[in-house]
Amino acid sequence: MNTSHPPVKIYGSGGHSQVIRHVLEENGYRITEVFDDHPEGVHRASVNVVKGLRGKDKNSIIQSTPMVIAIGNNRQRAEISQLLQSNFQKVIHKSAIIASNSTIGDGTVVFAGAIVQPNTVIGKHVIINTAASIDHDNIIGDYAHISPKAALTGHVEIGEGTHVGVGAVIIPTVKIGKWCTIGAGAVVLKDVPDYCTVVGNPGRIIKRQVPPVLPENNSEEIPFDLAFIGAGISTAFTLLKSLKKLPPQSKKIRIAVIEKSGEFFTGVAYGKRSGHSTHLITALKDFLPKPELNQFTDWLNLNKDWLLKRLKEEGGSLTNEWLYSNRKAIQNGKWDHLFIPRSFFGSYIQEKLQETIGEYQKSGKIHIEYVTDEIEDIQREEFGFYLKGLQKNIKTKKAVLGIGSPKQRTLNVPESIPNDRHLFISNPYEQGMNRVIKQIIKSLKSNHKKNVLILGSNASALEFLYKMNDLRGIDSKVGHYFFLSTHGLYPNSIVDTNNEKSFIPKHTLALLEIQKLTAKQIMQGITNDLNDAEELGIGAAITVGPISNAFVPLLEKLDQREKERFACYYGNEIGRRQRVAGYHYTKTIDVLKSQGRFSHLKGSFEKLDLADHQQLSLVYKTEQDSIAILDQPIDIVINCLGSSKLSDLEAPLVIRNLIDSEMAKINPSGRGLTVNQNLETSKGLHVIGPLLAGNVIEGNPIWHVEHCGRIISIAEILSKVLTTPSEKYEEVEPELKIHKLDNGRDVNIYKEILKEYDEHPYYRYEYFKHHSQDDNQLLVVELKHKGRSLAIMPLVKRKIAHGQYSGYFDVTTPYGYGGPLFKPEVTADLKEVFWDLIEKWYQDENIVTEFIRFNHNENHVGYNGEIIPTLKNIKGRILNDPEKQWKQFKPKVRNNYRKAEKNHLTFQSFSGKKISRDHIASFHAVYTETMDRNNAASFYFFHLDYFENLIFSDPDSFILTFAIKDNEIASTELIITHQNSMFAFLGGTRTKFFSYRPNDYLRVEIIEMGRQKGLSWYILGGGRKDNDGLYKSKKHLFPKDEDFVFYTGRKVINREVYNALCGNKLPKHNGYFPKYRVPKLQEAAST
């Protein structure tokens, strides 16, 4: 025994403890004590075991003697280490090979035959088990366990608490998240997110656990900067977007998230309260807008194994039927047309938000606390607001009220009804779907079959009907199902494509001819069309598309007051008549109907009466306002009626108190609070979610906030408000408007905007529209301030088709001179704001890189990316004196011109209305021949119709010039004119005329033409590279004029994705940017 070693204590007395004890004793250590929380269950070889933390003062356990936690369970090891806070002993077997420049954390054990190669860092309390191989430059987090014969190759990262199973292999550069389980023998080929279980070869994720959001105590003394009241999906997206908009150098922001249910960031619809086997009522493609849709489908493909496993565990026969009928789509990752379980999206958004919050907390930008409480009152104070909850009070500078819809309308139920014979579910989602189902199963234990009444026929009603027929033990014991709803209609799902093509909303479309409309006129037109559809037996699944497409453009014909009326009175009514759902939901009704077990009553609920023999009867009011009594008894009642109005007593107490204190006002819809354009009911108190119903936001009537696309767009608006300093926002900060040029309406809007910029030819839609091919999207970003347009910039948004990064994009300006067009009054500060706003938008849109081609007017000044002086461009002054101009030409130009004249070349030009299609076709033929001769890339082969559309969009801005030899075109150039300049756009020369030097002849004549037209500048561009032959041939015309520099701007927005796309092995390519688009290397980058 080596007495130089201090004595050691061991915590744990199982099999793992025996191995550690053996290594310690072989290394000459003396074990003084062994602790275990359950000494009665210790390993047979353990001796001197005493009670652990639960039976002993932990200070007596710690003392000064080093401790080894000899427990194989990673979580228990982590928990005990944090409780003890002792001095912890490393344990390393003599036969282990550890590089001298590797780091081993305290409490870590390395067993026999293990190898740890150079530059590896191993955290605290890690287990490196027998014969495990840890190669160079690995990072292993605290509490991890690398099992026997597991092999970690170079540059692998293992997260905190992760267990790597026996014989598992992790290939180079792979990152494994925290608290993962890598199964025995798994071969992991790609990164694994936190909390995942991976098995197989190749490794695949079969389970993913969403980390719990734990409440934390907050300080009542220091006000939070921001508090969210309610933690549903609207809060989730607002918080996500707000975090991404935080300025880089902002101070730490303290945020409180308050949720009465304790379930954060999913809301009722997407969390536990709806269960795991209830579905969206729309197809996924209609539920989420891009790019969020692309990100979500990528996540689904990565996580589908454990999601489907969870779905199977909760679901029954109908769930299995859904899985079977959609198996091929799921297997192939084709999710767009599926009505997926809602909980899938809840898990996704919760995980995404938790990862983002973790990132920002780690960087020190935010401190966030979660509070499980119900806020009853909001009082204004000097510092902001005082939030009074049932459990605690919270101070905050700003507050966001996002508590969702009011409670459902209360049932009129007699107190005398015996609860042992009847079941009443008044607010089903408050209890949670699974809990309600358990109550129903319990109530069905009697021998006789029971009748079920579901009040309402909305999505909630369909969900409960579906769920009750999905599970064993319910449906076989139900005699009859009843729906009661005002219209007697439930959401439609059957789509007959023939009817869809034939259905035309003629009444609504007729309103397009009217310049100024009222909300009532639009409602009447839609009502007439829906009535026609009902008479023809055409359901909502067919009418919803045509009618929506017809009436949405009409909303722009409404003034502000009429838009408010539409949002308050008509929007929801249209929605109620056009509800749709997935076929799996409505099929349940069809089956029950075929069995004679389903009835849909048309009317409104009045009350429940207790009749003779203790039977419960439904009393309801019919369409004709007469009272009817259902002739069959009711045993189970589920209330799926719509929410109460905010003025009702059922409204949340916090709303009633805000109304009483005049800090908020109910708008005429009765379902929402009136807000300003900052989404405030009063200064600093913002609203999100369903409480925005009945408002007009950025010119758009809002009658509900349940569609995810609308939730995301409103979250974008509020996030801008929340992240803008108050003193600046009060001055009305500039905003960025995005115009997506994918339809005629938006193109026309852009053309109107361009008129404010002198209709610059290089910014015409017809100039850059050819970029829309190959899945590219044409956009124009516009800087606006106080309703005025200050800057515009066309962009091409390009999809990155690289495997797992297919949800990412990059942007470039169109070919030629581009970048932003600034109004003269735009200051340097405003230019900085412009670029900052664009960069924030890029982050939200998953843009990886930006490439800007600037124009000749120094619009690169103020750019916040890397500015590259790319090429010298010739800008020649057209002199008033033609003789002086002639003398300035290089001798070669003058000689070439004389030679052309001797060979009887002549000059022709056509502009404005004199340009014909034949002229354009002649130009195009020479241009195409020139491109062929020079082996130009396919992109530069512009079609004839491109030139026709471009030139005829504004003929006065274009001049077609020709050098003619023997009635044939020898050379041609298309000139763009703007203000006092003419630009050499595109041209070409026929090979057989080279000897006559038509190029110089044509350009000298163009200069003379420009002089006669009173133009001052001739801009010829540059060469393929500086000082090449092409450049020199142009420079010979203006040898004394100073060139201007053609700048390009390059910016990497997402460095991590950019590096992954480029790969470590891609060579440099002469400054090609972005590098992953080097033509010959794109395929390599994607593999």
**DSSP secondary-structure letter at 570?**
I
Residue type for 119, please? N
**How far apart are alpha carbons 1002 and 1018 in whole angstroms?**
13
**Helix (H, G, I), strand (E, B), or coil: what is residue 902?**
helix
CATH number for the domain running over 735-864:
3.40.630.30
Distance from C-alpha of 653 to C-alpha of 203, rounded to nearest angstrom: 52
Of 294-298, 362-366, 422-426, 973-977, where does the model show the most confidence? 973-977
Spatial contact of 542 and 534, defined as CB atoms under 8 Å apart = no
Whether the pLDDT of residue 743 is over 90: the answer is no
CATH topology of domain 210-276+341-406+659-728: FAD/NAD(P)-binding domain (3.50.50)
Contact, 109 vs 68, CB < 8 A? Answer: yes
Instruction: Write out pLDDT tens, residues 491-514.
Output: 776 554 444 457 888 998 999 888
Whether residue 202 is preceded by a cis peptide bond, meaning omega within 30 degrees of 0, is: yes
- Beta strands per DSSP E along 720-819: 735-740, 777-785, 788-799, 809-812
pLDDT value at 1070 more than 70 = no
User: Helices 708-722 and 233-244, interaxial angle, to 10°?
Assistant: 40
The contacts of residue 824 (CB under 8 Å, 6+ apart) are none
Is residue 555 within 8 A of residue 519, CB to CB? The reply is: no
- Please give the C-alpha separations between residue 663 and each of 385, 405, 496, 913, 1080, in angstroms, as whole numbers: 11, 19, 50, 63, 63
Kindly state the average pLDDT of the residues 392-406.
87
How big is the chain by its Cα radius of gyration, in Å? 36
State residue 366 phi and psi, 5-degree precision: -140, 160
Q: Measured between alpha carbons, how far is residue 1030 from residues 672, 874, 1023, 1027, 1036 in Å? A: 66, 11, 5, 8, 10
Kindly state the helix (H) or strand (E) to which residue 393 belongs, with its residue range.
strand 393-401
What is the bridge-based pairing of β-strands 204-208 and 196-199?
A: antiparallel
**Distance, CA of 783 to CA of 464 (rounded, Å):** 48
- Per-residue pLDDT, averaged over 1005-1011, amounts to 94
The answer, yes or no, to whether residue 535 has pLDDT greater than 70, is yes
Rounded-to-integer distance, Cα 119 and Cα 103, Å: 8
Farthest-apart Cα atoms in the chain, separation: 119
Beta strands in 218-304 (DSSP E): 224-229, 253-258
Ligand-binding site membership of 480 (annotated): no
Cα separation values, 1009 from 702, 986, 1015, Å: 57, 17, 9
The answer to pTM > 0.75 is no
Q: Which fold has domain 8-207?
A: UDP N-Acetylglucosamine Acyltransferase; domain 1 (2.160.10)
pLDDT in tens, 253-286: 899 999 888 778 876 566 677 777 888 888 888 8
Contacts made by residues 881-888, CB under 8 angstroms, sequence distance 24+ = 882/1008, 882/1011, 885/1007, 885/1011, 888/1038, 888/1039, 888/1040
Domain 871-1046: which topology? Aminopeptidase (3.40.630)
Whether omega before 291 lies within 30 degrees of 0, making that bond cis, reads yes
Q: What is the mean pLDDT of residues 753-779?
A: 83
Residue that is written with structure tokens 């203006």 in the block:
1038
Answer yes or no: is 473 a known binding residue: no
Q: What pLDDT is attached to residue 207?
A: 75
Q: Which DSSP category does 669 fall into?
A: T
For residue 641, the surrounding DSSP H or E stretch is: none
Q: Give the amino acid at 550.
A: A
CA distance 764 to 396: 49
Instruction: Indicate the range of 51-60, 774-783, 1028-1037 predicted with least confidence.
Output: 51-60
Fold (topology level) of 424-491+581-639: FAD/NAD(P)-binding domain (3.50.50)
Residue 68 pLDDT: 92
Residue 165's contacts (CB-CB under 8 Å, 6 or more residues apart) are 147, 150, 181, 182, 183, 184, 185, 186
The rounded distance, in Å, linking the Cα atoms of 276 and 420 is 29
Q: What is the pLDDT of residue 1082?
A: 44
Contact between 85 and 62 (Cβ < 8 Å): yes
Task: List strand residue ranges (DSSP E) for 456-564, in order.
Answer: 478-485
> What are φ and ψ of residue 1020, in 5° steps?
-105, -5
Task: Return the closest-CA partner of residue 897 out of 981, 959, 963, 992.
Answer: 963
Return the minimum-mean-pLDDT range out of 337-346, 388-397, 648-657, 979-988.
648-657
Give the HSE-up count for residue 913: Cα atoms under 13 Å, Cβ half-sphere. 0
Question: Strand pairing partners for 408?
Answer: 643
Instruction: Kindly give, in sequence order, each residue whose CB lies less than 8 Å from that of residue 1064, ignoring residues fewer than 6 positions away.
Output: none
Q: Tell me the average pLDDT across 225-253.
A: 87
Q: Where are the domains of the chain?
A: 8-207, 210-276+341-406+659-728, 424-491+581-639, 497-576, 735-864, 871-1046, 1054-1087
What 3-state DSSP class applies to 926? helix
Task: Report the SS3 class of residue 11.
Answer: strand
Positions marked catalytic: 136
Asked whether the predicted pLDDT for residue 109 surpasses 50, the reply is: yes
pLDDT at 98: 95
Q: Quick check: 800 and 809 in contact, CB under 8 A?
A: yes
Q: Are strands 450-455 and 636-639 parallel, antiparallel or unpaired?
A: parallel
Residue 730 has pLDDT above 50, yes or no: no
DSSP 3-state assignment of 437?
helix
Alpha carbons 582 and 426: distance in angstroms, whole number: 26
Mean per-residue pLDDT over the chain, rounded? 85
pLDDT digits (tens, 9 = 90+) for 416-468: 565 667 888 877 777 777 788 888 888 887 778 889 898 888 888 888 888 88
Please count the residues of the chain.
Answer: 1087
Topology match between the domains 8-207 and 735-864: no
Mean pLDDT for the stretch of residues 126-151: 96
At residue 731, the pLDDT reads 53
Distance CA 635, CA 637 (A): 7
Inter-CA distances, 140 with 105, 109, 158, 802, Å: 10, 13, 5, 29
pLDDT of residue 963: 96
Please give the Cα distance from 645 to 656 (Å, whole number).
Answer: 11
Cβ-based neighbours of 157, under 8 Å, separated by 6 or more: 138, 139, 140, 141, 174, 175, 176
Work out the angle at residue 370's Cα, subtended by the Cα atoms of residues 366 and 374, and round it to the nearest 5 degrees. Answer: 135
For residue range 282-302, list pLDDT tens digits in order. 888 888 887 888 889 999 998
Confidence of residue 39 (pLDDT cuts 50, 70, 90): low
Residues 6+ apart with CB under 8 A from 658: 378, 664, 673, 681, 685
Percent of the chain with pLDDT over 90: 33
Q: Give the amino acid at 1046.
A: F
